[in-house]
Amino acid sequence: MKQGLLCMVFFGLVSCRPSTAIDIVDKPIVFDETRKQLTLEYLEQRYGLEQETPTITPKMIVLHWTVFPTLKASFEAFEQPTLPNWRPDIESVSGLNVSAQFLVDQDGTIYRLLPETTMARHVIGLNHCAIGIENVGGTNDMPLTQAQLESNIRLVQYLASKYPIDYLIGHYEYTHFEHHDLWLEKDAGYRTKKTDPGKEFLTKVRTATKSFNFKPVPEQNKSL
Ligand SMILES: [Zn+2]
C-alpha cells in the first residue's frame, strides 16, 4: 500500500503502462530446411527481398481467427512446411504453408509457434513486417472468448513493449495498406477477402492498448 502510494507520488505524471508479464508456451511448428527455403523464396518472389535469414522487422501486429474449433485442428493447419494441396510444378503459387508466430486457445493460453521475428505467412503484402496472432475459433458456434481477448491484449502489450510496433490491425483491414510504403506484394491480383478477427474484438484490443499510440490505419482505396 505504501509502495503504491509512492508510485503515485513519484510517477503519477508519467504514462505508466500495464505490466508486460506474460505466460507464453512454446509449441513450435515444423521449421526445417524446406520451410526455411520456401520462406526465403517467398520473401524474394513476392516482396523482392533477398535475405540470408527468413526474418522480419516487426512494425505491425495482425490479429486473426483460425475458424478451426480446436487447438489441435488449428495447430495442425500450420504445422507442416508446405500447403496441403501444393503442387511444386505450379511455380506461380508459393508452396509455403500458412502460419503465425502466435496461437491463442479458447481458454486464453498463448502458444508461440515460431520465433517472434521469423517470417510467417499470414497476411498478403505485409508478412515481412507483421507478427501474426491467431485465435482458435471465430465461428458462430465457437466465437472468440473473453479469455482470448485478455490474452490478445497482454500479448499486444508484450510485443509493443519489445519491438517498435507502428500498427495494430485486424486481418480484415490488410488491404488498407495496398498503397502504403510497407506493402510489398508484387501481384495486384493476389488478394483474399477476410473478416477476421471481427470488428468488435479488434476494437476492444485497440481500446485496451491505446496508450501505445499505434498509428491510424490508412483509408481504404476508394477504387477497390
Ligand atoms: Zn486471418
Q: How many other CB atoms are there within 10 angstroms of residue 45's CB atom?
A: 14
Classify residue 103 by its DSSP letter: E
| Distance between Cα 161 and ligand 1 center (Å) | 23
> At 8, phi and psi to the nearest 5?
-60, -45
Phi and psi torsions of 74, nearest 5°: -65, -45
DSSP secondary-structure letter at 135?
E
Question: How many A from CA of 123 to the centre of ligand 1?
Answer: 7
N- to C-terminal Cα separation, the chain: 56
pLDDT 10s digit of each residue in the chain, 224 long?
A: 334 444 444 444 554 555 557 999 999 999 999 999 999 999 999 999 999 999 999 999 999 999 999 999 999 999 999 998 776 666 566 899 999 999 999 999 999 999 999 999 999 999 999 999 999 999 999 999 999 999 999 999 999 999 999 999 999 999 999 999 999 988 888 888 999 999 999 999 999 999 999 999 998 865 54
Distance (angstroms) between ligand 1 centre and the Cα of 5 equals 44
DSSP 220: P
> What values do phi and psi take at 21, rounded to 5?
-60, 135
Ligand 1 center–CA 193 separation, angstroms: 10
- Amino acid residing at 71: L
How far, rounded to the nearest angstrom, does the alpha carbon of residue 139 sit from its chain's CA centroid? 19
pLDDT at 167: 98
Residue with cell 474484438: 201
Residue 99 Cα, ligand 1 centroid: separation in angstroms?
A: 10
Ligand 1 centroid from CA 122, angstroms = 6
